[in-house]
Amino acid sequence: MNSTSEKVLEILLNTDGIVSGKVIGETLSISRVAVNKQIAKLKEQGINIESRKKGYILLDKDILSQVSLSKKLENNGLNFTLFIKEVDSTNNEAKKLMASQEGNFIIVAPIQCRGRGRNSRQFVSNIGGAYMTLCYIPKNIQIMDSLKLVLVTGLAVAEVLSELTEGVQIKWPNDVYIKGKKICGILLESVLNETTVSKLILGIGINVNNELSDEIKDIATSLKLEGVEIDRESIIVKVMSKLWEMLNEYERSGFKKFEKQYCDNCISIGKNVTVNTPDGIVQGKGIGISETGYLLVENEKGINEIIVGDVGL
């Protein structure tokens, strides 16, 4: 994984402006010709490096690299991070890998040709967005509690985005919106034992610097459109670190600690909502969430517990 070209890329990433071939060569104990070869390899991968008289300059720093992601994400509980250049879906890759790999790991991809959303919907995953999946082995999570993990995941993303811009909210259960437009979708899949969750596959897609197609421009947004200048690696590292911290906290102390924060940030709570459920439309006021993470909607019939459903804005 720790290839020479990735080490060259790391030097370019850590340099403001031009770095000479001599400096790169001396740092990595390789010849100038070898440096040139590695630069050519990086350019072939689509990395925007310009060769100038005095050396090389990385023109676009929004780069995802295996070395840098691994260094920033791996800790005692997180076994490894895998950056894959071409995937159908990071959740699919995580599931394949889970069969042969022990422990917790992350898959990151720059693009997904078959990104999946909830209810078998497509999740458009073009270049510039952040697509990641955490494969997490919970210590002791009952099946009936798994929805709360979905809520915690949405909250983790919302917290990170709130540090960067205003107007961030969660739509129950875990879509993240900015000023009424969707910026992030989360897809949770799980492997169950008889009563507990043995593995969780938590897939997160965030619009960062990707272009949005005309069909979704009115209902979706990106960090770039919100005026936030940030690279995908920073977002991935921030989100995964926050999620890791919050999942561990959840396992120690349960959801109670997050409940107020979740409800305060949830667009579906405290106002009238229309929810499309498998059993029909439910209308009423979103008043909170139940012990198990269901959305509570109150109307003339009483309090309805929504287990699955699409909440209209």
Q: Which residues would be at the binding site for ligand BTN (CB under 6 A)?
A: 89-91, 112, 115-118, 121, 123, 125, 131, 133, 175, 185-187, 203-205
**Which one, 91 or 169, has the nearer CB to ligand BTN?**
91
We find the least distance from the C-beta atom of residue 217 to ligand BTN, in angstroms, to be 16
**Which one, 159 or 175, has the nearer CB to ligand BTN?**
175
We find the least distance from the C-beta atom of residue 140 to ligand BTN, in angstroms, to be 25
We find the least distance from the C-beta atom of residue 91 to ligand BTN, in angstroms, to be 4
**Which one, 49 or 236, has the nearer CB to ligand BTN?**
236
**Which one, 203 or 284, has the nearer CB to ligand BTN?**
203
Minimal CB distance residue for ligand BTN: 185
SS3 state of residue 105: strand
We find the least distance from the C-beta atom of residue 134 to ligand BTN, in angstroms, to be 10
CB 84, CB 108: distance < 8 Å:
yes
Alpha-carbon gap, residue 265 to 263, rounded angstroms: 5
CB 69, CB 131: distance < 8 Å:
no
We find the least distance from the C-beta atom of residue 123 to ligand BTN, in angstroms, to be 4
CB 64, CB 28: distance < 8 Å:
no
Q: H or E segment at 204?
A: strand 197-206
SS3 state of residue 299: strand
Please enumerate, as own/partner, the contacts of 220-226 that have beta carbons within 8 Å and a separation of 24 or more: 220/181, 220/182, 220/183, 221/178, 221/179, 221/181, 221/182, 221/183, 222/128, 222/129, 222/183, 223/161, 223/164, 223/165, 223/183, 224/128, 226/165, 226/178, 226/179, 226/183
We find the least distance from the C-beta atom of residue 202 to ligand BTN, in angstroms, to be 9
SS3 state of residue 263: helix
We find the least distance from the C-beta atom of residue 222 to ligand BTN, in angstroms, to be 14
CB 230, CB 164: distance < 8 Å:
yes
**Which one, 5 or 112, has the nearer CB to ligand BTN?**
112
What are the tokens at 198? 């043995």
**Which one, 88 or 249, has the nearer CB to ligand BTN?**
88
What are the tokens at 310? 């699409």
We find the least distance from the C-beta atom of residue 23 to ligand BTN, in angstroms, to be 37
**Which one, 110 or 284, has the nearer CB to ligand BTN?**
110
Q: How do 104-109 and 78-83 pair as beta strands? A: parallel
Report DSSP letters for 9-55, one per residue: HHHHHT-SS-B-HHHHHHHHT--HHHHHHHHHHHHHTT--EEEETTE
**Which one, 94 or 141, has the nearer CB to ligand BTN?**
94
